[in-house]
Amino acid sequence: MTVTDDSGASTTTGSPIIGPAEARLPIDPAAGQPLPVKARTGTLWQFNDNGHLDVLDTSAQLAELRAFVDHILNRIAANSRLTAAGLGTRDPAAS
């Protein structure tokens, strides 16, 4: 379960949800509606005077989730009397 959660959190952290406000977006001439927003490296938008870009930062949740996984692995090691190397979470050759 935590691997799936970690994968989802990594996705939103690496490609955050963005919300341009008061941006001058290209218009579809046939529908008269703005075209879907695609955020890629090098994408430029023009904004009105009060325009801004909101970004949903999920990096704190990703860090917390990874700390939780470490906590669970430590609990497993303590309760099963296995070392971190025995669980495969630490290199046995490392000091």
Residue 6 contacts residue 69 (beta carbons within 8 Å): yes
Q: pTM for the whole thing?
A: 0.45
CA angle 24, 29, 34 (to 5 degrees): 35
Q: How many residues does the chain have?
A: 95
- What 3-state DSSP class applies to 76? helix
Q: Domain of 76?
A: 1-14+57-85
Q: Do 32 and 44 sit in the same domain of this protein? A: yes
Q: Do 45 and 69 sit in the same domain of this protein? A: no
Q: Do 32 and 49 sit in the same domain of this protein? A: yes
Q: Is residue 44 part of a domain?
A: yes
Q: Do 39 and 68 sit in the same domain of this protein? A: no
Tens digit of each residue's pLDDT (9 = 90 or more) over 7-47: 667 766 767 778 888 888 888 999 999 888 777 778 888 88
Residue 95's pLDDT is 54
CB neighbours (10 Å) of residue 70? 11
Residue 38's pLDDT is 78
Rounded Cα gap, residues 20 and 51, in angstroms = 8
Q: Quick one: average pLDDT of 84-90?
A: 68
Domain count, the chain: 2
Tens digit of each residue's pLDDT (9 = 90 or more) over 41-76: 788 888 889 988 888 787 887 788 778 877 887 787
Phi then psi dihedrals of residue 31, to 5 deg? -95, -20
Q: Do 50 and 22 sit in the same domain of this protein? A: yes
